[in-house]
Amino acid sequence: MIKEYITRQHYLDRIRPYIGKDIIKVLTGQRRVGKSYLLFQIMDVITASDPEAQIIYINKELYEFDFIDDYKSLLAYIKDKAKGKKNRYVFIDEIQDIDQFERALRSLFAEGGYDIYCTGSNAGLFSGELATYLSGRYIEIKVFSLSYIEFLDFHKLQNSPEAFLKYIKYGGLPYLINLKLEDDIVYDYLKNIYNTILFKDVVKRNRIRNIAFLERLVIYLADNAGSLVSAKKISDFLKSQKTNISPNVVLNYLSHLESAFFILKVRRSEIAGKKIFEIGEKYYFEDLGLRHTIIGYRQADIGRILENLVFLHLKRSGYEITVGRIGEKEIDFACEKKGKRLYVQVAYMITDQKVRDREFGNLLTIRDNFPKIVVSMDEMTGSEFKGIRHMNIRDFLVSGF
């Protein structure tokens, strides 16, 4: 199977230690973030080291695999293709479209002799009963849309203000390398992706009937990305718009959007005691280009956009993230990875002393010695203020943080 692609080394490096190991590899992430092409890259790595590899490939987005609709037909197809063969590698793309797929995976795992890789566009893929079915038998690797470094690589651009503007306007879906980066062309494509995610991965999968409310909810989230919200707050807002929806229904719909990896939720925590607050959280978008198809790209939203970008960068880097609170002050991102912490404050521009006091002052109230950074669009950065670094956002996005 010959496919042209640009290698996404970060993900290959994460997957490589598990190739050939007795564990199911699962790539999850929003539709169109490049999971399918990662499968092709893994296939090439395998065939390069094992010329006798027997590759069995199933893609549920291709009509030729429509007949594989449940675990029995999945098992029958794999067994037929693998008959009498050794070195068997199974790749299943969009496995959530196969009914009770977990039964087939458990059977193949128990039989042995299969190295299994699959992708899914639903966060609930291995939750609940499925996790019990396959407990300890799989490793999940989350795939995101392109990072800023990948965007520059894919589009053959230098790190410049002009390249950064393209990134924040159009987002990081890999297919954009095939399109001219102009508003009409890009947003027509992204609108189709948005509709597919909304109607296939949210409405159809969860049998949602009130589609009009779902669309209003998405608009509300796009307008309030990075703001503290709650189900009750959303419900009250909708009532003011003559739409009567209970907080419980709001919670369900938010959960469905999260499961499709369309939005990502960040809870609040008390920095001193690490207490997690149950009410009030922030939502960010997996891809900013998709967010802009909903309400448009607006310069007035630049603060929200930068915050969303920084959040995604930290998430890709493997941090567990909360919105920090210390007293009455808020820290945009309190991050933790491997026992170490990082605190990040995001601002558009540090325009005067009042803004400086607020952004740096919030971080100064934290008494531990872990790194603290203010990220902004200011070009003249690189300085420190009482141990707190000030970084330009483009530098931050290409850094090791």
In this prediction, residues 282-306 reach a mean pLDDT of 96
pLDDT of residue 230: 87
pLDDT of residue 359: 86
Using the predicted structure, report yes or no on whether residue 129 has a pLDDT greater than 60: no
Beta partners for residue 385, in sequence order: 388
Using the predicted structure, report yes or no on whether residue 127 has a pLDDT greater than 80: no
* pLDDT tens by residue, 37-80: 999 999 999 999 998 999 999 999 999 999 999 999 999 999 99
Query: Which amino acid is present at 54?
Result: Q
pTM score, whole prediction: 0.93
User: Rounded CA gap, 51 and 49, in Å?
Assistant: 6
DSSP state of 266: E
Using the predicted structure, report yes or no on whether residue 399 has a pLDDT greater than 90: no
Using the predicted structure, report yes or no on whether residue 2 has a pLDDT greater than 60: no
Domains annotated for the chain, with CATH where assigned, are 9-142 (3.40.50.300)
Using the predicted structure, report yes or no on whether residue 219 has a pLDDT greater than 60: yes
CA angle 105–111–117, rounded 5-degree value: 40
In a 3-state reduction of DSSP, which class is residue 388?
Answer: strand
Residues constituting the chain? 401
